[in-house]
């Protein structure tokens, strides 16, 4: 049986939707962005969008699950220094988008998304008494560090930022 969720057409559709979303986020405020705008820009139908996402928040969360997963992995056995550095470099290369998402009205959604991924890793650690609270703290710190760096408030190399992110996760 073929898993349609991983098929090339589905991957292309999701990529087109996320690319359209990113383009639109750079053009207008997030709260003014409508699903109709995204599907028009991506050239897909409304029902196709809703086959994959409940709304624009879900699209944003899905689009960031990969890089945010790498940030969350710093708390578990799947941590990889090279992957972390690659994600930090990716954020730098896309800092224009990052500055919009990390500083705008999407920041609380991003912080909750990252905190959820971190919490899932912390639940496997019995020494952590309150994974949800610890995850919220770590996500807020990571978002603050990345936001300050991407906006130019705190210049540093990507390697230095990756090192700071990792050091801040040591519980």
Residues 102, 151: Cα–Cα separation, whole Å: 10
Residues 34, 37: Cα–Cα separation, whole Å: 5
Q: DSSP assignment, residue 75?
A: G
Residues 136 and 64 grouped into a single domain = yes
- The beta strand positions in 6-164, using DSSP E, are none
Residues 49 and 72 grouped into a single domain = no
pTM: 0.87
High-pLDDT (> 90) share of the chain, %: 80
Residues 92 and 106 grouped into a single domain = yes
Residues 31 and 80 grouped into a single domain = no
Is residue 165 a contact partner of residue 74, using CB atoms and an 8 Å limit? yes
Residues 45 and 66 grouped into a single domain = no
| Domains in the chain, number | 2
Residues 18 and 79 grouped into a single domain = no
Q: For position 3, what pLDDT does the model report?
A: 46
- Smallest CA-to-CA distance from 99 within 17, 25, 14 is with 25
Residues 90 and 119 grouped into a single domain = yes
pLDDT tens column, 4-40: 556 788 889 999 999 999 999 989 988 899 999 999 9
- CATH number of the domain bearing residue 45: 1.10.10
* Torsion sign over Cα 134, 163, 99, 72: negative
Residues 123, 25: Cα–Cα separation, whole Å: 34
Residues 82 and 157 grouped into a single domain = yes
Residues 119 and 36 grouped into a single domain = no
CA distances from 74 to 69, 84, 155, 169 (A): 9, 8, 22, 7
What is the domain extent for residue 135?
Answer: 57-168
Does the pLDDT of residue 131 top 50, yes or no?
yes
pLDDT tens column, 65-98: 999 999 999 998 889 999 999 999 999 999 999 9
Which of the listed residues 53, 71, 90 is the one where a domain comes to its end? 53
High-pLDDT (> 70) share of the chain, %: 96
Residues 45 and 69 grouped into a single domain = no
CA distances from 82 to 117, 159, 164 (A): 20, 10, 14
Angle among Cα 8, 12, 14 to the nearest 5 degrees reads 115
- Smallest CA-to-CA distance from 127 within 78, 171, 167, 69 is with 171
Residues 160 and 100 grouped into a single domain = yes
Residues 80 and 49 grouped into a single domain = no
Q: For position 5, what pLDDT does the model report?
A: 57
Residue 55: phi and psi, rounded to 5, are 180, -175
Is residue 99 a contact partner of residue 151, using CB atoms and an 8 Å limit? yes
């Amino acid at each position: 049986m073929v898993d349609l969720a991983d098929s090339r057409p589905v991957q292309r559709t999701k990529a087109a939707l996320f690319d359209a979303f990113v383009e639109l986020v750079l053009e207008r405020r997030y709260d003014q962005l409508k699903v109709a705008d995204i599907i028009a820009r991506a050239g897909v139908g409304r029902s196709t969008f809703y086959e994959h996402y409940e709304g624009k928040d879900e699209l944003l969360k899905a689009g960031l699950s990969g890089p945010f997963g790498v940030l969350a992995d710093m708390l578990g056995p799947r941590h990889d220094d090279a992957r972390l550095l690659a994600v930090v470099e990716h954020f730098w290369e896309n800092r224009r988008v990052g500055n919009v998402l990390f500083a705008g009205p999407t920041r609380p959604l991003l912080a909750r998304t990252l905190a959820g991924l971190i919490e899932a890793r912390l639940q496997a650690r019995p020494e952590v008494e309150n994974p949800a609270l610890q995850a919220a703290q770590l996500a807020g710190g990571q978002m603050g560090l990345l936001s300050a760096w991407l906006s130019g408030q705190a210049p540093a190399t990507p390697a230095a930022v990756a090192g700071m992110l990792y050091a801040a996760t040591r519980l």
